[in-house]
Amino acid sequence: MSAPEINPPQLPSVTRASSPEEIVQLSDQVGAVIIRNFMTPEQVRRINQEVDAPLAALDAGSRHEHELIVEFHGRQTKRLTNLVTHSKTFREEILDDDLFHELGRVLYQSDAGDWWLTTAQLIEIGPGNKAQMLHRDMAQYHPYVAMNKHAPRAIANLMLALTDFTEENGATRLIPGSQDWDDYADVGTPEMTIPAVLNAGDAVLFGGKVVHGGGANVTAGEFRRGLTIPLQASILTPEEAYPLIVPMDVVRTLSPRVQKIIGFRSQYPAGSPGLWQHNYADLADHLQL
Ligand SMILES: O=C(O)CCC(=O)C(=O)O
Ligand SMILES: [Fe+2]
């Protein structure tokens, strides 16, 4: 007899007590792993409070010129970028979290050798928003798509829940195993996805090769708040140009490792004597950090 099917299938979950090696391995094998209680209730409360005002000032929907991206961003969805500037708790505690940095090390030490932050944005999916189109995050680094499952790691997403994520309010949906498909033009179907059901404070880590998308919010009045902080190889250009955005007086208050992942220090990918430098010396010298 075959093994009983787990219905509905669930993503594996770990706690902060697991080693970063174990967490990354599970994420790579299955496609995604839930890290329970990544943030404390107190951190969730403070971040929510710090983003309330900038979020209220933002309209739902996207102002992007391309219709496809407007659809991708979500018509009843708010995307608050530049969280590094907006939230002190986020930049001082989440971005400086030991496990977050350990995950970065384990994710990138064998390929690119060094990593930085793609973006730090809050994604609030509002009632009535339909499911986001299924996609692989690595697709924005186009040459990697042709290498499909054989591509080195370009990006991995850590999505943190600032509210509960339920199937009804738009929990991120993923297709476990899609990282191993041969044809990356194939993004599967919504029926193949399962939701990452999270409690506020939990996180889900999934690689850039995994097919996923934000879920539909079919509730009458619930807002799903997620905080996405993808980690990417620093040989690739991030989405947010932090050095042109984050004020220097904020940068000076940050730890060296946080300064580095937002581009205020130089990068040392495998095989390189240093990138993102000034006069062949670390940017930190030039900036007097
Ligand atoms: O909001 C979500 O759950 C997923 C968002 C996402 O995958 C993306 O914007 O790339
Ligand atoms: Fe995505």
Tokens of 118: 């793609």
Report which protein residue has its CA nearest ligand 1's atom 2. Answer: 214
User: Quick check: helix, strand or coil at residue 165?
Assistant: strand
* CA 18 to the chain's CA centroid: 20
pLDDT tens track for 142-154: 999 999 999 999 9
Label residue 34 by pLDDT band (50, 70, 90). Answer: very high
pLDDT tens track for 177-232: 999 999 999 999 999 999 999 999 999 999 999 999 999 999 999 999 999 999 99
Q: Which amino acid is at 75?
A: R
- In contact, 41 and 161? CB cutoff 8 Å: no
Report how far residue 121's alpha carbon sits from residue 84's, in angstroms, rounded to the nearest whole number.
9
Is the pLDDT assigned to residue 6 strictly greater than 60? no
Vertex 197: Cα angle to 49 and 37 (nearest 5): 55
User: Quick check: helix, strand or coil at residue 155?
Assistant: strand
Query: Which residues are within 5 Å of ligand 2 (an ion), measured at CB?
Result: 137
What's the predicted TM-score (pTM) here?
Answer: 0.95
Report which protein residue has its CA nearest ligand 1's atom 4. Answer: 214
How confident is the model over 110-129, as a mean pLDDT? 97
Report how far residue 289's alpha carbon sits from residue 255's, in angstroms, rounded to the nearest whole number.
10
Please report the domains of the chain, with CATH numbers, ordered by start residue.
13-287 (2.60.120.620)
Pocket of ligand 1, beta carbon within 6 A: 123, 132, 137, 172, 212-214, 226
- In contact, 141 and 111? CB cutoff 8 Å: no
